[in-house]
Amino acid sequence: MSSKVYYTKNITPEGLKKVYNALGVSLQGKIGVKVSTGEDGAKGYLKADLIGPFVKSLNATIIECNTAYPGARNDAESHYKVAENHGFTSFAPVDIMDESGEFKIPVKNGKHLKYDLVGENFKNYDAFINLAHGKGHAMGGFGANLKNQSIGIASRNGKAYIHSAGKSEDPDAVWSDLPKQIDFIESMAEAATAVSDYLKAENKPIAYITVMNNISLDCDCDANQGDPVMADLGIVASLDPVANDQAFVDLIWASQDEGAAKLKERIDTRLGREILPYAESLGAGSREYELITLD
């Protein structure tokens, strides 16, 4: 069964609001907006002037978790400073969700993970927006909603558990004993699906939006993130994370931009597209979608 994906080329606060409104959801209560705050030194993270008006209109909180790798965001105190420096605290409260711990949620039918470790404060919210920045990624090939829901919502130890494909929760040990690439990609899909399953069980709605601007080869988690390699593509939104990620990938593959070839190479050399069929097989969503243009 195909899912609906709404699309605009208009990368503005108005375009962001338009795709959200098209979803037909009315999120209530305490709303968490999951974004990447961007590593200190990165430049592609979603900026306050773009997302601030939208987040403020929902009276929402920016939610994040600490990183598993060494850097300026691997402890809460430093992470809050980066979030402030990058402008997030100028328009919303910021909650580093694993500041006070973590909790386990089940992974069903996983080949690699027995559970997912997410930030303790994740349970404090009534509804969510997974607001991703679509770009490449050094390890995952590309990053959008599925990555933002797996690595992004996982605690520091949970990130290590995903990166190790279930072998270790130790952030200091994981990088010296990485698993096969396909095992890591599939582990991200398992973690993302676990979050979806948890939210369904708790009757907590979530909407998915990916802003496809400043599209670099590397992630906002890279302190040495390079310049964009291709032109901006727009914004996609859906209630299905697999469909939304598939739409992002399809827009890259359909692009006539010369730089798109570099991003395709990055994605496929990291087996990035393999996350889509595996997440679909786990029940996270559908790769079949109807693209509805709002312009």
Which pLDDT score is estimated for 71? 84
Average pLDDT, whole number, for the chain? 97
pTM of the model: 0.98
Indicate the CATH number for domain 3-293.
3.40.50.11440
Number of other residues whose CB lies within 10 A of the CB of residue 269 = 10
Q: How confident is the model at residue 16 (pLDDT cuts 50, 70, 90)?
A: very high
Joined tokens for residue 118: 């997410």
pLDDT tens-digit profile of 265-290?
999 999 999 999 999 999 999 999 99
Specify the residue for token string 């949620």: 105
Which pLDDT score is estimated for 223? 85
CB 242 within 8 A of CB 279: yes
SS3 of 233-275: CEEEEECCHHHHHHHHHHHHHHCCCCCHHHHHHHHHHCCHHHH
At residue 72's C-alpha, the angle toward residues 78 and 126, to 5°, is 60
Q: How far is CA 148 from the centre of its chain?
A: 2
pLDDT tens-digit profile of 151-189?
999 999 999 999 999 999 999 999 999 999 999 999 999
- Find the DSSP H helices in 32-119: 48-57, 76-85
pLDDT tens-digit profile of 126-148?
999 999 999 999 999 999 999 99
pLDDT tens-digit profile of 71-124?
889 899 999 999 999 999 999 999 999 999 999 999 999 999 999 999 999 999
Joined tokens for residue 169: 């929760």
Burial of 180 (0-12, 13-18, 19+ CB in 10 A): exposed
Domain ranges of the chain: 3-293
Which pLDDT score is estimated for 221? 86
pLDDT tens-digit profile of 243-260?
999 999 999 999 999 999
> Is the pLDDT at 70 greater than 90, yes or no?
no
Joined tokens for residue 293: 């243009």
Phi-psi label, residue 170: left if phi above 0, alpha if psi -120 to 50, beta otherwise: beta
Joined tokens for residue 217: 């080869």
DSSP-derived letter for residue 11 is -
Rounded CA gap, 172 and 145, in Å? 26
Which pLDDT score is estimated for 142? 97
Largest distance between two CA atoms of the chain: 48
